[in-house]
Structure 1
């Protein structure tokens, strides 16, 4: 037997695994790196977050990815080269992080790499009837495995698409395995560039859970702050938005976006919610000179309203529920205040109340998916559901 396959077999049979999960989102803030101790698999899974850090991206990374991201006119050569370049950057960050944690590659059983999304094209957005759902993440897993010396599981979203899904959101799988409660009606809400959530009734089976994108969370607000207040990257704690006044006419106009009329579950990205689209809405409302604080307040309310509308579509009226919040938006007090105002029956809590750092949830999720990839029979673990294909996700990349 190939010795690396033998090593993989031995890892799959370990009672406890040390798995690194990585996530690079649309905000381009940095690479989230979560070291997780994972025991069991399927519904017997337990996950402990051992270490977490975000390795910030330097300007060269942003300069390379920004022209490619959500750009249908990007040059194929540039995408091809970036696929390898991003892998080298991520591998170097992982190696540096391990050294800082005083760990060696041999201490780590698996490395889960989400990669960097450059285009997300579900069928409802590309409008080409003869084409399927599609999504593309770059940062090749074989290069990462070779450069780190760690068996790498990558390209998770492709199997989801191959099985009939949209490749996003992926949170349903981890949320089902880790966070179903016997009594509490839960919503797990992640506020990244795009917002996604899982609705989890008490004692839920996999098929009872609905995970969906809701629309933008931080993407517009971050872009405006970077445009007008560079080198600032975001509105700290929503302080600028809190000083502004919501423009009701603009908010109403933003809420007419076609994606928001689609039934849940659904997925989206900055291809649909682009700065070009936002500028068109401002022009149509004669608001091209709106004050930055008022614009941020309106966009903050828009993100909150998208979340509230999705939850109201999926959860019975008057149902008491607890929303556990993660992602960069979990630090935005104004965004959370708007969500609470639009959902008076909800109690908002930090994801840390469930034992996961608010910034680490998605990276930890991919560590869990890597564990499922090599240990679990998805046809047993996940009941078939039209909302999320029951599949094992991830390509296995060997170091040599």
Structure 2
């Protein structure tokens, strides 16, 4: 039966692999995870292994190009999906080698794929979200059931298809007696707003709150030839340009009420170029400082408007959690809050999203809803994903 583990010892919880390639396009994170319990008591997570595989530069450039209209997109996109599946398969095999697990011991691989277009509810009222992936090839290369295409069912049900992680965040990170927020800072920033577990009337909410590493990494690559601003040191050495910051913060998306989601369709190089057009005298280091402050301000403004009363705890995950300067700015903008990486809650910041897609694969195999309609705006809870049996 699809989704049934073939060789788990009696009485143990099944194992899932989660694979995540985010809008930062830096690579693929993978984990082998086991979840125990769920619902009101939360899920207890055991991560057996974590692997990161850098994105080959040629593939990365192709994926970035596919965010915009161009020549021969179908051909480029299909071959890029094949290449991504091979990279994902290498991560799966490294995870198996690290743990000594056999493919038959893994219930399913949850693979996010690579988002190249995200336009829910546009054009014809349904719109679309496009994650390049080849679940059939990945299943062939790994010999494990693959669950992928998680977002499109939520979009078909009238939702944004994003963010999908708040449901997992609620099980892993919600506190017993106080609300909490989780901020994922990948290429794009997204928030999860978590009521206390003992709050029977509380609703999990969440939404994309603006750009994160996508713009900062681009600017660092362009001016320093480095893939990212390590520790935020370059930004910390610059000065925030107040006029440019206010212009960035005037982006209409930031003022939209949730449910909402975004991506490189909006926050891309062309968008940044337009913003800078009337600020030609800003030094590159000061632009980096301003982009970092923009990321922090957009997230903190969203928290101020939408967090639950009494929230004083913010967990941060994704690559932005490793940006010391950005973390300091978040703490400064949220006086009286505890701001810490998710490591402090038992899940390393760079593993959280891969864990979430292992969790979504588990939800699919149990035929549980993977979305939260109050987050995405869908008409109701839906089982998310499509299965490619081994």
TM-score using structure 2 length:
0.91
SS at 1:240 equivalent: helix
Structure 2 CA distance, aligned partners of 1:108 and 1:10? 8
Which residue number corresponds to residue 298 of structure 2? 306
Deviation of 1:371 (Å): 0.8
Unaligned runs of 5+ in 1: none
SS at match of 1:190: strand
Please name the residue that 2:221 is paired with.
226
Any idea what the Cα deviations from partners look like across 1:225-264, whole Å, max 9, x if unmatched? 111111x111111111111111000001111111112012
Question: Which residue of structure 1 aligns with residue 389 of structure 2?
Answer: 398
1:140 match:
134
The C-alpha deviation readout for 1:121-177, integer Å capped at 9, x for no partner, is 133xx5x3x331321111111211111000111111112212221111111210222
Distance 2:373 2:162 in 1: 17
> Of 208, 212, 235, which residue of structure 1 is paired with 2:203?
208
- For 2:349 and 2:375, locate their aligned partners in 1 and report how far apart those are by CA, in whole Å: 29
Q: Is the 8 A contact 1:133 1:166 kept in 2?
A: no
Change (3 A) 1:397 1:8: farther
Does the 8 A contact of 1:15 with 1:40 survive in 2?
no
Shift of 1:387: 4.7
Q: Partners in 1 of 2:33 and 2:94 — Cα distance?
A: 17
Which residue of structure 1 lines up, in the alignment, with residue 168 of structure 2? 174
SS at 1:299's partner residue? helix
Q: Secondary structure at the match of 1:36?
A: strand
Report 1:125-204 matches (<5 A): 126=122, 128=123, 130-203=124-197, 204=199
2:70 is equivalent to residue 73 of structure 1: yes
Aligned CA-pair RMSD: 2.4
Deviation at 1:266, TM superposition (A): 1.1
2:112 counterpart SS class: strand
Map of 1:1-400 to 2, 5 A cutoff? 4-5=1-2, 7=4, 15-43=12-40, 45-68=43-66, 70-73=67-70, 75-123=73-121, 126=122, 128=123, 130-203=124-197, 204=199, 208-230=203-225, 232-284=226-278, 287-315=279-307, 319-378=310-369, 385=374, 387=376, 389-399=380-390
SS in 2 for 1:16: coil
User: How many Å apart are 1:280 and its aligned residue?
Assistant: 1.0
In the alignment, the residues of structure 2 paired with residue 266 and residue 366 of structure 1 have an alpha-carbon distance, to the nearest angstrom, of: 20
Deviation at 1:102, TM superposition (A): 3.3
Kept in 1: contact 2:3–2:107 (CA 8 A):
no
Are 1:207 and 1:385, in contact at CA under 8 Å, matched by a contact in 2?
A: no
CA deviations over 1:175-232 (Å, ceiling 9, x no partner): 22222222222001111110011111223559611111100111111001111111x1
The gaps in structure 2 that reach 5 residues or longer are: none
> 1:331 Cα shift?
0.8
